[in-house]
Amino acid sequence: MRDRHFIWYLNDRLQTPQPERVRLQKRGVTTCCKSTRGEPRPVTDSHLQSCSTNRKIFHNTIRHELFKMCNAANLVVSVEKRGLVPGTRMKPADVYIDCWSADEGFSACAIDVVTTDAESNLTEHTQPSVRRQRENISGIQARSADQRKRRKKLEGLAGAPTMQESLQAREIKFVPFAVEGTGAFGPAVRPFIKQVSQEAKNNGSTCSASDFRRGWELRISMCIANGGCTAALDRVSKLWS
């Protein structure tokens, strides 16, 4: 068996140590990067999959798959749309859907892909009980990332509204598409896929809404798994060199 991606994915599902990471540690590489507080982040299997220094690979893989899903639903879709927050260079829509009719009061939909690490914010001082909780309960960081995106203030603008409030004022629905490197979804992910599935049926899809939803949930899950493997192996390669 020589497919490094498959080996990484299999070990991840079985929750067994990654040979690539073990070899790094045996070589003396024990830290991967630094946190926003300047603290060293240890080399762990979970962190390697969504390390911030290499997160763009993971992020863009998911964004591309979301674009394909919306396109398959015959929606008017684009990526990285500009000008959604007047007066700033912010681009809150990794994927943008024009003519959104799935929610009353909205005419468009901005999907912001956010990837996170299940062990995010853990340090050497973290209580063992908190660390065990992160290891055993998936989705904690995805839910936290969802809330951070919704509550993020637009600095420098009158009244400092949140991103969600700013877009809502322009009849644009805001969807934080939050995922963990482990594959866990944030709270907005499945409801959004369900809405797109219904839109696909309304727009003449040859399959039912439920079949469309199941198919694309599987594709996105595999995309996250493959993207995480690619990001992890790329980070391992850089640390090795």
Structure confidence by residue, pLDDT tens digits, 191-236: 999 999 999 999 988 889 999 999 999 999 988 888 888 888 888 8
- What is the model's pLDDT at position 76? 95
> Which tens digits make up the pLDDT trace of 56-70?
778 888 999 999 999
- Name residues whose C-beta falls within 8 Å of residue 59's C-beta, 6 or more positions apart in sequence: 94, 113, 114, 115
- Distances 37 to 33, 115, 123 between C-alpha atoms, Å: 11, 19, 10
- What is the model's pLDDT at position 1? 47
Burial class (CB in 10 A: 0-12, 13-18, 19+), 221: middle
Pair 53, 47: CB distance under 8 Å = no
> Which tens digits make up the pLDDT trace of 125-149?
555 555 555 554 567 888 988 998 9
Pair 126, 133: CB distance under 8 Å = no
What's the distance, CA 188 to chain centroid? Answer: 11
> Which tens digits make up the pLDDT trace of 223-234?
888 888 888 888
Q: How confident is the model at residue 159 (pLDDT cuts 50, 70, 90)?
A: low
Domain boundaries, the chain: 56-115+123-226
- What is the model's pLDDT at position 157? 55
- Region 152-160: mean pLDDT is 67
* pLDDT above 80 (res 187): yes
Q: Which of 130, 117, 129 is nearest to 36 (CA)?
A: 117
> Which tens digits make up the pLDDT trace of 92-126?
899 999 999 999 999 999 999 998 876 555 555 55
What's the distance, CA 66 to chain centroid? Answer: 11
